[in-house]
Structure 1
Amino acid sequence: MSQTLCIISTQAPYRGQFAKEALDAALVSATYDIPTSLLLMGDGVYQILDGQSPEQLGRKNLSSMFQSLELYGIETVYVDGESLEERNLDPEQLLPLYTLLEGDAVASFLAQHDKVLSF
């Protein structure tokens, strides 16, 4: 049986390389048939905010990478509800490709994985 992996992405999408590196790590592990989950927490929830225009910053929009996750076997992106609340974000402002985890669900979700990497 394969070890399960959860990648936690906690950084805003265009502040440094951590957000892209977390996505890259998820794609690579899934490519090697490692059951992989992606959890957005903290400022990481901004990564799937709809209507981003990073081209003005000279950066590539990460939303296309999120939309390709399913091709690699990562069927959903998990989002920490508390992080959304802390940032006054409404779930309707996000791209429709996530599952919201609220309260103790985050700890339960993480406990289901053998390995956890945080970016």
Structure 2
Amino acid sequence: MSKSLLIISRQTPWSGPGAREALDIALAGGAFDLPIGMLFLDDGVFQLSQGQQPGALQQKDLSANLQALPMFGVEDLYASERSLAERGLAGNELNLAVQRLDDSALTALLDRYDQVITV
């Protein structure tokens, strides 16, 4: 039986390769039918904001990769309620449907997965 994997993405979309690497891991694992969840935490919640303009930084847009997650079987998507609030992101400003979790729910989430990767 496959072990479940939670990927925690903590970087902004354009601060380095971390955000893209987290998405690549999730998409690859999903393609192999691994039970995968993805948590957007700290500055990683900025990946969920609408209206990003990556061209201004000569970067590729990550929104297509984010939208592809459910198509690859990565349907358990989460975001820290506190991280969203601290960064002024409301639910209607997100480009992806995620479950918003408070701190106690985050602790329970970590306990549900066999392995956790932080990127």
Q: Please, what TM-score do these two structures have when normalized by structure 2?
A: 0.95
Contact 1:76/1:97 (8 A) holds in 2: no
How far residue 103 of structure 1 moved from its aligned partner, in angstroms, is 2.7
1:90 aligns with 2:90: yes
- 1-structure distance, mates of 2:111, 2:76: 18
Contact 1:9/1:22 (8 A) holds in 2: yes
- 1-structure distance, mates of 2:103, 2:43: 18
Q: CA RMSD in A?
A: 1.1
How far residue 88 of structure 1 moved from its aligned partner, in angstroms, is 2.3
Q: Residue deviations 1:68-91, cap 9 Å, x none?
A: 111110124210001112212222
Hey, which bits of structure 1, 4+ residues long, moved more than 3 A?
Answer: none
Per the alignment, residue 74 of structure 1 pairs with: 74
How far residue 24 of structure 1 moved from its aligned partner, in angstroms, is 0.4
- 2-structure distance, mates of 1:76, 1:51: 23
- 1-structure distance, mates of 2:10, 2:96: 19
- 2-structure distance, mates of 1:77, 1:46: 14
Can you give the 5+ residue segments of structure 1 that lack an aligned partner in the other structure? none
Q: Residue deviations 1:54-80, cap 9 Å, x none?
A: 111111111110101111101242100
- Residue-pair matches, total: 119
- 2-structure distance, mates of 1:110, 1:45: 17
Per the alignment, residue 103 of structure 2 pairs with: 103
Q: Please, what TM-score do these two structures have when normalized by structure 1?
A: 0.95
Contact 2:2/2:34 (8 A) holds in 1: yes
